Structures are given as C-alpha cells and as structure tokens.
Amino acid sequence: MKIGIIVPFSWSYWGGVVEHSENQAAALRARGHDVKLVMGHDPPGYLTRLLHPRSGRHGDLPEGIIPVGRSVVVPANGSLPNIVLSPRSIQKVRETLEEERFDIVHLHEPMTPAICVSALAYAHCGIAATWHAAGDLGWMRYGVKTWGFLIDRVDARIAVSRMAAESAGRWLGPGFDIVPNGVVVPEQADATGRAHRIVFIGRHDARKGLPVLLRAWPEIRRRTGARLRLIGTDPLQYRLLQSRLRFDEDGIDVLGIVTNEVRERELETAKLFVSPALGAESFGMVLLEAFAVATPVVASDIPGFRDLAPPEAAVLVPPDDEQALVDAIASLLVDEPRRVAMGLAGRALAEERYAWPDVAARLEQIYERVVG
C-alpha cells in the first residue's frame, strides 16, 4: 500500500509522537509499503528563533518527509508541543494529498489543527487515526464543536493505551482499537558493565517532573556518587530552573537536544533511567526505550506508567515525593544483581510486547480492513 502518515507537529522538535511516526514509517517500509510522512518543519533562521524558545534539529529533512508548514509553541495538556497552525499549510496538505494519491492516511492526534484537520477534510482514501494523549483534554470542547463532524470520516480509531482511549472516548464515544507505541529493540544489549550514572529524558514541561528530580539530586549524589545526564532539556531552561531552585549542580551534565543515536547510547550505557512525571502520561514511551536496551527504570506511580512498567523491570514511587525518589534510586544503585535482573526483565518485555515489527503487523491488519 501507499501510506501517508500525517503528523500535526514539527519534525524539527523532538517529541514522542514525532519519534513514533518516524519509527512507524520505517517499520512499515520494512514490510514493503511505500510510506511518506506529512508534517511541519522549521528551517534555521531568525523566524524560527523568534517563534521557538528552545533549540531543535534544523538540518536537512530525511528522505520521505513532506514538509507543509512552520510550527508555533502551543500550551496543551500540560505540555508545550510545536503545532503547525499556518493557514498556508491547509492548501499544502490538500495539494500533497492530491499529488501523492495515498491508499490510506494515518493521522496522529487527528483533532489537532491545522495539518490533521485539513487531512480529515480533503483525504479521498481510507483514514486511520491514532490518539496518544491522556487527561481531561479540555481543548477538545472547542474542537468537537468546530470541526468535530469530520471525525465521522475516520474508518479506524486507534489509541496507544487504555488511558488514551478513555480520554478521547469522553469526547468522541467508544470504539477504539488499542495498538501500543512500538519500540526499536536492538539485537544486543548488555545489562552489566554500565557507567555509574542515571539518565533523564524529557522536555522542560511541568508534567515531566524535572524540578522534583533536581531538588532530590543533591541527596542522590551524596548517597550514590552517580552522575545525572539530562537529555531533551534546553540548557537555557535548565539554567532558569537552577536560578529558581538553587540546587547543588554537582554531578549534573546537561546534554540538551541530541540525536536518536546519542539518546540510545546514553540509555544503553547508564545504570538507570528515571522519570519523575507528575501525571497526564498516557504511555511511557521513554520507559519502553529504556527497557529495550536493558536499562531498569525508576518512575512515578501514575496510571500511564503503571500499566506499562511491571515491578520486575521498574520501581514506581509516589509522584512529587523527593525522598521516595532518592531511596528508590539509591537502593537500586547499590544492588547490582537486582539492577541487572530488572534490566533483563525490561528487555524481555519490550521484545515480547512492543517490538516495532509486531506493532507494524497489527497496523497493517487495520489498514487492510479499511482499504478492503
């Protein structure tokens, strides 16, 4: 099939949905399909610096991505996604659909303007759609009233988790297939011989809980001697946090926005991955990436993580509890046999349930049902 994957965000700024769509395209191509990604792109220059407070990836687009407009930062659901809202993108989406003549389009967060709503309006083929977000989704109140009638054009509704299905279902009604996010599982991953450091990956969004980790860090550093590597956190935003919280920075390395290869290398060489998120997480994608490289996890005990992270692979602590976070990290770092066993259990979980070849096969079945 010729498949168009439609993403309302910008390729230039890392995020879970953007990464998911790129891996989805690669997995479907491996199964013999012709796949194009339609999404935003913010090239380097003054206007991009003006519109975006953080750094991103502004190089040449990879092959197979069709850019249809610039993005702006829009607060939504406790996060700061980079959404394409340019009126010009509407016509670009229409022209792309007419030119490419896809057999099916797969929209991610389909109620998000302007790219996905335009695709809903103009696509003349089968439509599958995936909902990723969880929480109240209060903005849907306006979306449903304004362009909610277009949702009837969706032939297959997909949610990445039970929480995502329930959140979207409150506004759109039931009828979702649950197809989880996939993860790239490398052929080999050694849980032993790791560097004495832990990794945090996430944007500087309030719901990611980075201030909780930074307040807890001095005690973690004192008890373990480990280093902390911050990935995805803009250095300037980190500096603003430091000036406000006044925590001891000893042992902290701020890597900022990095490539997928660097992020994977950091995960597969660290002893732990930590995510002190406060809530509104429908699916712990980064937890799953840690599992895939045999890295155990310490994370908040919130519904989006609880459904994904079993006790044999992760330690879950109450959200916004600094002392519980300190104790969980310290106890795991001093118990190497337990840490290694948890890493191996996480990798087995990723292989058995979430590897991209299996997830792509499930999506392919849905596409065949729609096209057929």
Nearest residue to 341 (alpha-carbon basis) of 372, 302, 311: 311
Residue spans of alpha helices (H) in the chain: 16-30, 46-51, 87-100, 115-122, 140-147, 162-172, 210-224, 235-245, 260-269, 285-292, 303-306, 322-333, 336-349, 356-371
CA distance 71 to 86: 7
d(CA 281, CA 270): 23
Cβ neighbours of residue 32 closer than 8 Å, sequence gap 6 or more: none
pLDDT at 77 over 70: no
* Domain boundaries, given as residue ranges, for the chain: 2-182+355-371, 195-353
Mean pLDDT value of segment 355-361: 97
Residue type for 29, please? Answer: R
Check residue 78 and give its pLDDT: 63
Three-state secondary-structure class, residue 203: coil
- pLDDT the model gives residue 45: 85
Average pLDDT for residues 145-158, to the nearest whole number? 95
Q: pLDDT tens digits for 217-246?
A: 999 999 999 999 999 888 888 888 888 888
We find that the CATH architecture of domain 195-353 is 3-Layer(aba) Sandwich (3.40)
Range among 8-22, 55-69, 105-119 with highest mean pLDDT value: 105-119
Asked whether the beta carbons of 233 and 266 are under 8 A apart, the reply is no
pTM tops 0.75, yes or no? yes
pLDDT score, position 260: 82
- Whether the CA torsion 260, 309, 351, 265 is positive or negative: it is positive
Quickly state the pLDDT bin for 117 (edges 50, 70, 90).
very high
Residue 228: alpha-carbon gap to chain centroid: 21
What tokens were used for 51? Answer: 């519109």
Residues in the chain: 372
Return the percentage of the chain with pLDDT > 90, whole number: 75
Q: Are 298 and 315 in contact (CB under 8 A)?
A: yes
The radius of gyration of the chain's CA atoms, rounded to the nearest angstrom, is 20
82-83 and 104-108 beta bridge pairing:
unpaired
Identify the three-state secondary structure at position 40. strand
Q: Are the C-beta atoms of residues 371 and 104 closer than 8 Å to each other?
A: yes
Residue 285 CB contacts under 8 Å (≥ 6 apart), including other chains:
16, 19, 20, 181, 183
The domain defined by 2-182+355-371 folds into: Rossmann fold (3.40.50)
> Quick one: pLDDT at residue 182?
95
Mean pLDDT (the chain) is 93
Question: What does the pLDDT look like over 26-40, one tens digit per residue?
Answer: 999 999 999 999 999
User: Do the domains 2-182+355-371 and 195-353 sit in the same CATH topology, yes or no?
Assistant: yes
- Report residue 333's pLDDT band, with 50, 70 and 90 as the boundaries: very high
Distance CA 323, CA 138 (A): 33
Handedness of CA 135, 140, 141, 144 (dihedral sign): negative
**Residue 191 Ramachandran class (φ > 0 left, ψ -120 to 50 alpha, else beta):** alpha
Residues 6+ apart with CB under 8 A from 215: 245, 247, 322
Residue 3 has pLDDT above 90, yes or no: yes
At 136, the pLDDT band (50, 70, 90 cuts) reads confident
Residue 134 has pLDDT above 90, yes or no: no
Mean pLDDT of 97-124: 97
Q: Judge whether residue 179 has pLDDT over 90.
A: yes
Q: Are 119 and 38 in contact (CB under 8 A)?
A: yes
**Rounded Cα gap, residues 337 and 358, in angstroms:** 31
Tokens of 92: 């670009």
Q: What is the pLDDT of residue 223?
A: 97
Q: How many CB atoms lie within 10 A of CB 347?
A: 23
CB of 8 closer than 8 Å to CB of 116: yes
Average pLDDT over residues 162-181: 93
